[in-house]
Structure 1
Amino acid sequence: MITRAPAVAGSFYPGSPDQLRREIDGYLSQKHPSAGVEIKPKALIVPHAGYYYSGAVAADAYRMVAGEEFDLVVILAPSHHHYFTGASIYSIGNYETPLGEVKVDCELAESLIAQYPAINFIAEAHRQEHSLEVQLPFLQVVLGDFMMLPLILGEQSWDMAENLAEIIADLARNRRLLLIASTDLSHFHDAETAEFLDRQIVDAVAAFDPAAFWSLIENRQAEACGAGPLLTVMQAALKLRARRAEILTYRHSGMVSGDNDRVVGYLAAALY
């Protein structure tokens, strides 16, 4: 077994366990109107920037599942550093963060790799990828111990998302799943342009309309670096009988930094 060491601790989020927990607790303490609702989400859409920029947005999603118990957390995140076809599951050990190890269901991961040609283990896909790693400390704080399947998507297409959504839905036959889609929205536009582009995606997610969302991406009318994970999770959630989407928070980096010339958009949403 080979534990995947944290790649961005100390840069995207604090490397000190105590400081990391304090920072996350601070974000989570900022109450959101939807916190405490009785119906819990089947899926969350979360950003993956440094916590300084997007931590408060991510917290608005993770707060929705605080204290819940899931048999398996399925996290889908995009590859930023290594291109490959299909999806990669880390199947050879656990992930580590400053808060401790997060257990990977390696037996299930190996089974999926053996069954489905679209799923492999590609070490380079996980080694430096931040988009999945930054979700783990939040999950450790709100869930405690949990088991996960960490998937990095190298290929972002409608067919790939549909294929993965079927596989994920099949996993739910005898498990309570939580699905996580990791994505940021538009990148490096001025604030006004970013808000216009991102509004298109926010509206498509609010309507729970995967086809409308994908049309925006294919026609370059909007941007999301995790378009594949977001599409997959929307499709899988529909198969799991989720019928409603809630937009929890939209912000961009300029709202934190004060620099509105080049911003990145962030969304927190829940699918019920």
Structure 2
Amino acid sequence: MKRIREPAVAGMFYPSSPQKLLDEVKTLFDLTRSETNIDNILGIVSPHAGYVYSGKIAASAFNILLNKNYHTVIIISPSHREYFPGISIYDGDAYKTPLGIVPVNKEVRQKLIDSGQFIFEGVQGHRAEHAVEVQLPFLQVILKDFEIVPIVMGDQSRQYVDELSKSIASSLDEKTLIVASSDLSHFYSKETANMLDSIVENHINKFDFDGLQKDLESGKCEACGGGAIVAMMKAAYIASKKNSKVLARGDSGDVTGDFSEVVGYLSAAVY
């Protein structure tokens, strides 16, 4: 009997109807089609809000994967609903969305667990967490056959970020993609959010993961999946992929028209 993680936020963050979901994702891809061609992509940053708010910015990241081939996608997510020390990789067989079932790569999961003392398999962080799940329909539309390694960071402090980056770097090959799932600042005015979020953007464009980590730790900028972004960039550095580029940035006010309390979003590529 396979253990499948059922969709937790279908009908809330994205449509629960398979056809409506497919149509929405395809529309988002059409709206964000880019002439930019980036080779040797190791990872992307993608937001994880409802598609109505951050879908276009997420699609701008997944769009650059068009016609590329990956067999494993490592998705790194923060934990919004439960705190636990360490890093949890889903211990079941697959994740499910309205578009179908995505199997877990058990071999890579085991490699990561074996290479780190803080990395374990379990359901902690996976029960109701949306930040992994919302990435999957984009991947299901843009990629062919692939497996995932769904990772939720219960704690994003430096020791966990460092271990995760080293463990991921040691298990990478040319057919592996990393997705760092993160939104930016939450519930500031548009003006303040722009100031905070531009700091994250600048660090990513400079491939300055040390500076990003320091500014996240000091509160100079905010990203709920900041540890995921830094872990991906550090893994890329170890794997000699040392370029990163922000593809799009915006906030919820661009959609709602309410600029008093916005949530910031960004997409980026690491290559």
TM-score range, shorter chain: over 0.9
Other-structure match for 1:259: 258
Instruction: Confirm or deny: 8 A CA contact 1:47 1:58 kept in the other structure.
Output: yes
Residues 1:27 and 2:28 aligned together: yes
Tell me, in whole angstroms, the C-alpha distance in 1 between the residues paired with 2:143 and 2:42: 14
1:217-256 alpha-carbon deviations (Å, 9 max, x no partner): 1111111000110110010111122121111000000001
Other-structure match for 1:158: 158
Q: Post-superposition shift, 1:111?
A: 4.7
Letter in 2 for 1:25: K
Q: Post-superposition shift, 1:33?
A: 4.0
Unaligned runs of 5+ in 1: none
1:96-115 map, 5 Å: 96-115=96-115
Relative to structure 1, the CA distance from residue 162 to residue 124 in structure 2 (aligned partners, 3 Å threshold; closer, same or farther) is closer
Tell me, in whole angstroms, the C-alpha distance in 2 between the residues paired with 1:194 and 1:145: 38
1:114-125 map, 5 Å: 114-125=114-125
1:82-231 map, 5 Å: 82-172=82-172, 174=173, 176-231=175-230
Instruction: Confirm or deny: 8 A CA contact 2:71 2:145 kept in the other structure.
Output: no
Q: Post-superposition shift, 1:71?
A: 2.6
Instruction: Confirm or deny: 8 A CA contact 1:40 1:65 kept in the other structure.
Output: no
Q: So what's the TM-score if we normalise by structure 1? A: 0.95
Residues 1:270 and 2:254 aligned together: no
Q: Post-superposition shift, 1:186?
A: 0.2
Q: Post-superposition shift, 1:48?
A: 0.3
Q: Secondary structure at the match of 1:200?
A: helix
Letter in 2 for 1:30: L
Tell me, in whole angstroms, the C-alpha distance in 2 between the residues paired with 1:11 and 1:226: 21
Tell me, in whole angstroms, the C-alpha distance in 1 between the residues paired with 2:107 and 2:232: 22
Other-structure match for 1:250: 249
1:121-160 alpha-carbon deviations (Å, 9 max, x no partner): 2313101000010000000000032111110001112221
Instruction: Confirm or deny: 8 A CA contact 1:68 1:143 kept in the other structure.
Output: yes
Tell me, in whole angstroms, the C-alpha distance in 1 between the residues paired with 2:82 and 2:202: 30
Unaligned runs of 5+ in 2: none
Dislocated runs of 4+, deviation >6 Å? none
Q: Secondary structure at the match of 2:4?
A: coil
| Number of aligned residue pairs | 270
Tell me, in whole angstroms, the C-alpha distance in 2 between the residues paired with 1:42 and 1:16: 31
Tell me, in whole angstroms, the C-alpha distance in 1 between the residues paired with 2:176 and 2:93: 20
Q: So what's the TM-score if we normalise by structure 2? A: 0.96
Instruction: Confirm or deny: 8 A CA contact 1:86 1:154 kept in the other structure.
Output: yes
Instruction: Confirm or deny: 8 A CA contact 1:92 1:106 kept in the other structure.
Output: no
RMSD of the alignment, in Å?
A: 1.4
Letter in 2 for 1:162: D
Q: Secondary structure at the match of 1:18?
A: helix
Aligned sequence identity (%):
40
Q: Post-superposition shift, 1:99?
A: 0.2
Q: Secondary structure at the match of 1:127?
A: coil
Q: Post-superposition shift, 1:113?
A: 2.9
Q: Secondary structure at the match of 2:16?
A: coil
1:231-250 map, 5 Å: 231-250=230-249
Q: Post-superposition shift, 1:108?
A: 3.3
Instruction: Confirm or deny: 8 A CA contact 2:34 2:64 kept in the other structure.
Output: no
Tell me, in whole angstroms, the C-alpha distance in 1 between the residues paired with 2:23 and 2:207: 34
Relative to structure 1, the CA distance from residue 113 to residue 245 in structure 2 (aligned partners, 3 Å threshold; closer, same or farther) is closer
